[in-house]
Amino acid sequence: MRKEVILAGFGGQGVMSIGKNLAEAGVEEGLEVSWVPSYGPEMRGGTANCTVILTDERIGAPLVDHPTEIVVMNRPSLAKFEPVLRPGGTAFVNSSMIPERVGRTDVRAVYVPCDEIAEKLGSPKVGNMVMLGAYVAATQVLKVETIEAMIHAMFTGRKADLVPMNLAAFHQGIACVTF
Amino acid sequence: MQKREIWKGSEAIAEAAIRAGCRCFFGYPITPQNEIPEYMSRMLPQAGGVFVQAESELAAINMVYGAAASGVRAMTSSSSPGISLKQEGISYLVGAQLPAVIVNVMRGGPGLGSIQPSQGDYYQATRGGGNGDYRTVTLAPATLQEAVDLMQDAFDIADTYRNPVMVLADGLIGQMMEPIVWQDRPGRSLPPKTWAAEGRRGRTHNNFVTSLYIGAEECEEHNLELNRKYAAMEANECRWEELMTEDAQLILVAFGTPARVAETAMRNLRQEGWNVGLLRPITLWPFPTARIRELAGKSHVKAFLDVEMNLGQMLDDVNLAVNGQRPVHFYGRCGGAVPHVSEVEQAAQKVLEEVQ
């Protein structure tokens, strides 16, 4: 098993943190993981991305030419990464922000209205949790319970009341995936 | 099994230094290693240590000189342009026989260059960018686990020889996250720091730390004494890792991030039936010259391909080691670009087809 994921979006959409969540959950489950951020002379409102590898083998190169999945939260990210997605791979598309459909026929597309779901739940901040749910459901590389435990561990003390909303966002993301 | 924790490279390096007993950190901010001083500013005082953000890189390296002279474990970190500014201080540390650790998280150069990963400072680290005949053991981690393990070793090597040690990472190692196991690594048994300028303490003489030997004769004698230490470092500290070199027709040579890229390229080429191996220097100085020369003399080895994030600096050392016995090829990206696996595969395949 080897998942090579590129996650991309505007700064603030939480793509770096979805990547970190995947990497942390991978460590919990005993996988080899790596997380590499794009960094550079970034512009406010510009596009950020990170590369995450989850595998049961030794990781060599932490950057990838052709990811097995792309997670795109905005239009420029789909335009940039759809062409490099590996044939047979999956594109996770935030359909709240991206009206276009995936044009390629040799890849699977999963459309997730992250922002709409987050709004309905009462916080635009949980859109990334919705997408995390969709990724976990569609790829089945990580256990749902691992992420649930992580969400509980992430929000403690005064922030503990954020747990139900994040769990709800995560599960609504799972529900977006049809097989 | 010990607990695996996920860490960011720069923060892991800083934490490893504290665990290795570093109690003084002096630095000046520069991307892509700001998380090292940031972490140190928060955590070092809690460990009973001292963090100072100096007014410049020159000040920082000279603060390291002062702290090291008192016998405390001291370090600084920076990225390429900042390390350039510290070269004078590094030469002085060697001259005054002071142990210290200098971490360089390399970015694109020359000059201010870029902030992305690079290995453009190989010459500077292994040849010395300061004045005089000097050497610094240079450690080049390729994973975060190795980076944290090497920090302990860096302080131990520095104290063993009373000589600064350079840890040469690149921006990618500094910025990425990977799981780490914090191992209890037994430190070396080290000589007491009887030379430290820490007060008279009942001695009949003052300990005096200097790199000034004003007479030619005494300065030559000083240089010869230092040279005996370099010889001991060469004899004792050389490290490298080999993967699948036993039957390799082509041996890739790479350090740091490009070694990871080369490893993936090697495994892909193996699956296609090509006999490719990898030799990864862990110490860039001392360089694994003898081992590469030995491999170059083996009948199954037909060629070498050196892969770097520069225009071919370690290439000189590979050529010196191979010494004309086999062709040595090069593939590099520079200025902040990281070589792609497919590019290394193509470069390797071209060489393999030539030697068939």
Give all domains of chain A, ordered by start, each with its CATH number. Answer: 2-175 (3.40.920.10)
| Res. B243 pLDDT band, cuts 50 70 90 | very high
Q: Closest partner residue to A60 among B175, B179, B263, by Cβ?
A: B263
Q: Can you give the pLDDT at residue B332? A: 98
Q: Show the tokens assigned to B247.
A: 């039957």
Length of chain B (residues): 356
| Angle, in degrees to the nearest 10, between helices A15-28 and A144-154 | 110
Greatest CA separation for chain A: 47
Coil, strand, or helix at residue B294?
A: helix
* Averaged pLDDT for residues B14-19: 98
Q: Closest partner residue to A34 among B115, B176, B340, by Cβ?
A: B176
Q: Closest partner residue to A36 among B4, B172, B263, by Cβ?
A: B172
- In this predicted structure, the answer to whether residue B176 has a pLDDT above a threshold of 70 is yes
Q: In what order do the strands lie in the sheet with B24-27?
A: B50-53, B24-27, B74-78, B101-106, B165-170, B137-139, B283-285
Chain A: nearest CA to B93, how far in angstroms?
33
B176/A36 touch (CB, cutoff 8 Å), yes or no: yes
Residues of A whose CB is below 8 A from B147: none
- In this predicted structure, the answer to whether residue B287 has a pLDDT above a threshold of 90 is yes
* Contact with chain A for residue B263, Cβ under 8 A: yes
Query: Could you give the residue range(s) of every CATH 3.40.50.970 domain in chain B?
Result: 5-236
CB of A49 within 8 A of CB of A55? no
Instruction: Give residue-wise pLDDT tens across range A96-149.
Output: 999 999 999 999 999 999 999 999 999 999 999 999 999 999 999 999 999 999
In angstroms, the CA B99 to CA B166 distance is 11
Instruction: Give residue-wise pLDDT tens across range B220-238.
Output: 999 999 999 999 999 999 9
* Contact with chain A for residue B116, Cβ under 8 A: yes
A39/B116 touch (CB, cutoff 8 Å), yes or no: yes
* Contact with chain B for residue A84, Cβ under 8 A: no
Q: Show the tokens assigned to B312.
A: 């071919």
Query: Could you give the residue range(s) of every CATH 3.40.50.920 domain in chain B?
Result: 241-355
Q: Closest partner residue to A63 among B6, B267, B338, by Cβ?
A: B338
Instruction: Give residue-wise pLDDT tens across range B108-120.
Output: 999 999 999 999 9
Q: Show the tokens assigned to A63.
A: 């950057």
Binding-face residues of B in 300-339 toward A, CB within 8 A: 338
User: What distances in angstroms separate CA B249 from CA B63, B296, B299, B317, B353, one per listed residue?
Assistant: 49, 10, 9, 20, 11
Averaged pLDDT score across all residues of chain B: 97
Q: Can you give the pLDDT at residue A46? A: 77
- In this predicted structure, the answer to whether residue B158 has a pLDDT above a threshold of 70 is yes
* Averaged pLDDT for residues B309-324: 98
* Contact with chain A for residue B42, Cβ under 8 A: no
CATH label, B241-355, candidates 3.50.50.60, 3.40.50.150, 3.40.50.920, 1.10.8.60 = 3.40.50.920
Residues of A whose CB is below 8 A from B32: 39
Q: Can you give the pLDDT at residue B1? A: 60
Q: Can you give the pLDDT at residue B209? A: 97
- In this predicted structure, the answer to whether residue A179 has a pLDDT above a threshold of 90 is no
Chain A: nearest CA to B142, how far in angstroms?
9
- In this predicted structure, the answer to whether residue B2 has a pLDDT above a threshold of 90 is no
Q: Which CATH superfamily is domain B5-236 in?
A: Thiamin diphosphate (ThDP)-binding fold, Pyr/PP domains (3.40.50.970)
CB of B339 within 8 A of CB of B261? yes
Q: What's the alpha-carbon Rg for chain A, to the nearest Å? A: 15
Share of chain B above pLDDT 90, in %: 96
In angstroms, the CA B24 to CA B48 distance is 9
Instruction: Give residue-wise pLDDT tens across range A21-80.
Output: 999 999 999 999 999 999 777 666 778 999 999 999 999 999 999 999 999 999 999 999
Q: Closest partner residue to A27 among B171, B179, B262, by Cβ?
A: B179
Q: Can you give the pLDDT at residue A33? A: 98
Give the bridge partners for B170, in sequence order. Answer: B106
B341/A37 touch (CB, cutoff 8 Å), yes or no: no
* Averaged pLDDT for residues B267-271: 97
In angstroms, the CA B77 to CA B34 distance is 9
CB of B177 within 8 A of CB of B7? yes
Residues of A whose CB is below 8 A from B178: 33-35, 59, 62
Which is nearest to B13 in space by CA: B100, B114, B87, B105? Answer: B105
pTM of the full predicted structure?
Answer: 0.96
B175/A39 touch (CB, cutoff 8 Å), yes or no: yes
* Averaged pLDDT for residues B129-133: 96
| Res. B319 pLDDT band, cuts 50 70 90 | very high
* Contact with chain A for residue B261, Cβ under 8 A: yes
Amino acid at B299: S
In angstroms, the CA A72 to CA A92 distance is 6
